[in-house]
Every structure is written in structure tokens, then in C-alpha cells.
């Protein structure tokens, strides 16, 4: 892969991380029920705390993607480090899917009865499917890398 393409993808990951962090910090202050609250009351909401704790896995996954791209740029895709990195991405995406499901259950049962959580629940289902697809893709990619490493080691032994 071209080095410029890899640098561009790493730059995109950094921009996604910065924008995600900005949204995590800024959105609770703009949300409808938090308009008249002070900063302590906004950030003491159990659901906001849950979102911040869950976002740790999101940022770990982004960092692991950045590490994988740097492994590719150094021509070390077929290494144990790459397998471990893809495995970490897989676990982070599956954990995020589960945490989104738990958040949706929390909103469904502990939300104000006058509010309609249908939009949030639909978004939760879509995000769960997306993170499940990312995890499954990472699983397939990990197995492909492991098979390539095995073939490479067999070739090294025969030569």
C-alpha cells in the first residue's frame, strides 16, 4: 500500500478521534433536558457517565486501528503484533456492541414515561449491527493474517 495512503488514513483516524471527543464533551450541554442544568448536574447523569466509560473502548479501537496502519506502513502486516492488534479491534467492537445494547435497555426501562425512546432505540440497533460487522470483519481478517503467517513460516522452513 502506498505510504501516502496510509498517512492519509492515519490522519482520518486522528480527525475522527478529535471530532468524537468534541461531540462527547459538547453534546451533553446542548441536549434538550440539560439546557437549564449546570455543569455538575449535566455530567453527574448516570447515562452520561456510562457513555464516557463506554467511549474508552471506542478510543482504544481507534488507537489500535492507527497502530495497525503503522504496522502496514513498516511492512509488518504479517506479524504477531498485527494479529494481536486486529484481535484487540475485534474485542473492542464486540464490547461496544454489548454496551450499546445495555444503554438501550437502560433508556427503554428507566426513561421518562412521557418521552418516546424509539429514535434512540433504532439508532442503538443500527450501531450494534455496525459494531458487530466490524468485529466479524476483524475476526476474518485476523484468521487470514494467521494463515498467511503460517504459510510464510512454512515457506521459510522449506527454503
**Residue 115, exposed/middle/buried by CB under 10 A (0-12, 13-18, 19+)?**
exposed
> Which pTM does this prediction carry?
0.86
Per-residue model confidence as pLDDT tens digits over 38-74? 777 777 878 888 889 999 999 999 999 999 999 999 9
- What cell does 54 get? 463506554
37 within 8 A of 45, measured Cβ to Cβ: no
Q: How confident is the model at residue 110 (pLDDT cuts 50, 70, 90)?
A: confident
Q: How confident is the model at residue 1 (pLDDT cuts 50, 70, 90)?
A: low
Average pLDDT value for the chain = 88
Cα separation values, 78 from 83, 84, 85, Å: 8, 11, 11
Q: How confident is the model at residue 27 (pLDDT cuts 50, 70, 90)?
A: confident
pLDDT of residue 25: 87
- Gap between the Cα atoms of 89 and 95, Å rounded: 10
- Ordered by start, the domain boundaries in the chain are 3-158
Amino acid at each position: 500500500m502506498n505510504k501516502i495512503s496510509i498517512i492519509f488514513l492515519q490522519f482520518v483516524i486522528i480527525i475522527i478521534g478529535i471530532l468524537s471527543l468534541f461531540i462527547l464533551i459538547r453534546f451533553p450541554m446542548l441536549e434538550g433536558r440539560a439546557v437549564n442544568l449546570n455543569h455538575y448536574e449535566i455530567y453527574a447523569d448516570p447515562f452520561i457517565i456510562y457513555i464516557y466509560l463506554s467511549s474508552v473502548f471506542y478510543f482504544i479501537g481507534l488507537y489500535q486501528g492507527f497502530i495497525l496502519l503503522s504496522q502496514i506502513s513498516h511492512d509488518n502486516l504479517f506479524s504477531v503484533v498485527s494479529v494481536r492488534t486486529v484481535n484487540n479491534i475485534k474485542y473492542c467492537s464486540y464490547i461496544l456492541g454489548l454496551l450499546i445494547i445495555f444503554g438501550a435497555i437502560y433508556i427503554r426501562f428507566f426513561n421518562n414515561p412521557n418521552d418516546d425512546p424509539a429514535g434512540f432505540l433504532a439508532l442503538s440497533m443500527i450501531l450494534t449491527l455496525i459494531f458487530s460487522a466490524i468485529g466479524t470483519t476483524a475476526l476474518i481478517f485476523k484468521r487470514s493474517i494467521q494463515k498467511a503467517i503460517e504459510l510464510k513460516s512454512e515457506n521459510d522452513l522449506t527454503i
